[in-house]
A and B are shown apart, each in its own frame.
Chain A
């Protein structure tokens, strides 16, 4: 059974960066597309970007262009999402989500447990 396990909660200051990890078990991180989706408190879901590590392809939402970097490490089967120049409005739960195929245009059949990132001065 595939499982995605994310790193723990973070508290960051405005202007700093945060890096969230997502370890994939039950298969390597290269076999699937891994997306990052965030959810601000009491709000809906927002797609941030995705990686297909096998092909070295990464896509980003324009809403985060220039501030988000998604990477993956095959040796540890872990995907990462780094968000820079943090603002108060970046306070949210960040999820990694796996597509069942090696393609970006897919639904998500497995989700990580979520990582709360709080931006506070």
Chain B
């Protein structure tokens, strides 16, 4: 079973700054990797799929990259509405696996 890890656990960023979130798989995987944003009391929201494709309606400040075992979500200039928890999700088999999440909070 592939294990997903995310780092850092918490990322403190000032509005307007760049945020870089990492997701690592325990073994090499294809690009079936998605990123979700979750705010308190809300369901997750799809941001990125296929490691780098933005979902419909997602602002261009969100970008995904990576391959193999290392994947990155970058938020180029944090807006107030971007402070949330971000999860990566490996969907390369019928068994979906989520990372533990990274909380992005205000510095």
User: Measured between alpha carbons, how far is A51 from B46 in the docked complex, in Å?
Assistant: 20
Question: Which chain B positions have C-beta within 8 A of A61?
Answer: 95
Question: Which chain B positions have C-beta within 8 A of A104?
Answer: 93-94
At the interface, yes or no: B96 with Cβ under 8 Å from chain A? Answer: yes
Contact B100 A44 (CB under 8 A): yes
Contact B95 A47 (CB under 8 A): yes
Contact B44 A45 (CB under 8 A): yes
Query: Nearest chain-A residue to B87 (Cβ)?
Result: A45
Contact B94 A107 (CB under 8 A): no
Question: Which chain A positions have C-beta within 8 A of B56?
Answer: 109
User: Measured between alpha carbons, how far is A112 from B44 in the docked complex, in Å?
Assistant: 9
User: Measured between alpha carbons, how far is A47 from B95 in the docked complex, in Å?
Assistant: 8
Q: How many residues of A contact B (CB 8 A)?
A: 21
- Per-residue interface assignment for chain B, residues 32 to 43, with 1 indicating a CB less than 8 Å from any chain A CB and 0 otherwise: 101010000001
Chain B at the A interface: SS class? loop
Query: Nearest chain-B residue to A50 (Cβ)?
Result: B94
Q: A44-B87, A45-B87 are in contact. Are A107 and B46 (CB under 8 A)?
A: yes
Contact B46 A46 (CB under 8 A): no
Q: Smallest distance from the beta carbon of B36 to chain A beta carbons, Å?
A: 8
| A104-121 contacts to B (CB < 8 Å) | 104-109, 111-114
Query: Nearest chain-B residue to A4 (Cβ)?
Result: B43
Q: A105-B93, A107-B49, A107-B91 are in contact. Are A47 and B98 (CB under 8 A)?
A: yes
Taking Cβ atoms with an 8 Å cutoff, the residues of B that contact A are 32, 34, 36, 43-46, 49, 55-56, 87, 89, 91-101
A-B contact pairs, 27 of them (CB 8 A): A37-B96, A44-B87, A44-B100, A45-B87, A45-B98, A45-B101, A46-B98, A47-B95, A47-B97, A50-B94, A59-B94, A59-B95, A97-B44, A104-B93, A104-B94, A105-B91, A105-B93, A107-B32, A107-B34, A107-B46, A107-B49, A108-B34, A108-B44, A108-B89, A109-B46, A109-B55, A112-B43
